[in-house]
Chain A
Amino acid sequence: MVLCARRPPMIQRVLRMALPLALFCAVTAALQAMAGRIDPWLPVKTFLAFLLGFCLYLCFPWRRLPRLLRPGRALRNVPILFLLFIRHFAAILGEEAFRLFRARRLAVVRERGPLGFFSLRCAVAAVFRRTLARAERFYAAQWLRGAAE
C-alpha cells in the first residue's frame, strides 16, 4: 500500500500563513476595545500598514545607505545605522520564526485545538527569547566595533 500525504489547496495554505497576522490584528482590536476605543477598521488598517511596511522594506535602497555614513557625524550616522539594524533584525526575526514554526508543524499532531494553541504560544515565546539572545550578541559585536564611540 502506498501512502501519500495530500497537499492542501493553495488558498488554504495562504490562509494558514495569514493566521498569525489575523490573530495579531484581533488581539490588537480586542485591546483597543477594552480601552474603550472601538475601531472596527483597526484590523484592516493594521494589515494595510503591515503590507505597506513590507513593500517599503522591499523597495528601499538599502545598498546606498552605507555610502551616506560620515565619520564623526553621529546625528547623521545614527539614523542610518538604526535603519540597517532594523533591517538585520527583521531578517533574524523572520528566519527564527520560519525555523520554529516549521519545527512546530513537524512536532505537533494537530495544529488546532488546545494543544495546538499551546504549542503556538510556546513557539511565539521561543522566537522572542531567541531573538533577544541574538540581539544581545549583536549589540556586543557592534559595541566592540565602536558603534557607541
Chain B
Amino acid sequence: MTPAVEVRDLSFSYGATQALAGVSISIAPGERVGVAGANGSGKSTLLWCLLGLLPASGEVRIFGEKLGRNPPRRAALVFQNPEDQLFMPSLADDAALTLLNRGEDPVRARAAALEALRAVGLEDLAGREASQLSLGQRKRAAIAVALAASPELLLLDEPTAELDGRSVRQLSSLLPGLAGTQIVATHHLEFLRAVTSRTLVLGGGTILEDGPTSEILANHPLLERAGLI
C-alpha cells in the first residue's frame, strides 16, 4: 500500500540553526500520528516541510506523489493561530473558499462548507465572523476550513495551544471521529494519548523515538530527555 506520507532524509536550517537533520518517516493511510517535542524541537518546521511550505532538502511524498510547485491537494494544515487561516466576513465563506479556489461550483462549495462546520459543531455560527468567536471555537473553525476540501491527510500544528480544559476535551473527542490520516504536532501529552496511536518524539531536529503512543508516554527518561516533562 502507498504510504500517506513518506519522508527521506529531510533537512532544513534557519540560517545557522539546524531545525531538521535527516528526518525519515513513513506513515500509513488512516494512521493517527503525534509529533511530540519541546518548544523549538522542529515540530512546526516538520509540518511545514511536509507540505512544501519551506524549501527543505530530502524527499517528501504525499500519497506517493512528490511535492511540486502547487500545494498537495490531498492534504490540509490547521495552523497554530486560527487567524492565519480565517479572514472572510463569515465562517461559511471561509470554509467555502478552498473549494472556490479549486474551481468548485459556489452552491456545492457552500454546502460542503456547512457540512464541515456541522462536523465540528459550529453550524449555528456559520454566518459569524471568526473575530466574534472564542479561541476554542476559532480553532474548531480552522479545522472546518481544512475539512471542507475533504483532505485525506490532515496536519494540525499545536491544536491545543492556549486552549482551556473544556476546549481541549472538545477537540479530543472531535479528532478521532474524523476520517483520514492525521498528524498532530503538540507537547500536550494527555491530548496525544487521546487522539493518536503512534508518536514520534523530536529533539534537536532528529527523531529520538518512534513507537506506540502508550509506550512513548510511559517512557519517562525519554520524555525528560525530550523536554516534555
Contacts and interface: CB of A to CB of B under 8 A. Distances in A.
B98 A145 contact: yes
Contacts, number: 74
B117 interface: no
A147 to B, nearest CB: 6
A66 B93 contact: yes
A18 B103 CA distance: 46
A65 B89 contact: yes
A121 interface: no
What is the predominant secondary structure among interface residues of chain A facing chain B?
helix
Interface string B170-212: 0000000000000000000000000000000000000000000
Nearest to B70: A149
B97 A92 contact: no
A140 B90 contact: no
Nearest to B53: A140
Interface string A110-142: 000000000000000000000000100110110
A144 B76 contact: yes
A50 interface: no
A66 B102 contact: no
Q: How big is the A interface, by class? A: 20 to 34
Given A70-B106, A71-B105, A146 B98 contact: yes
B70 A66 contact: no
Given A71-B104, A144-B51, 19 more contacts: A63-B89, A63-B90, A66-B89, A66-B96, A70-B106, A71-B102, A71-B109, A72-B103, A84-B88, A84-B89, A85-B87, A92-B83, A137-B84, A138-B83, A140-B53, A141-B84, A141-B85, A148-B70, A149-B103
Interface of A: 62-63, 65-66, 69-72, 77, 84-85, 87-88, 91-92, 134, 137-138, 140-141, 143-149
Interface of B: 48, 51, 53, 70-71, 73, 76-77, 79, 81, 83-85, 87-90, 93, 96-98, 100-106, 109, 131, 145, 149
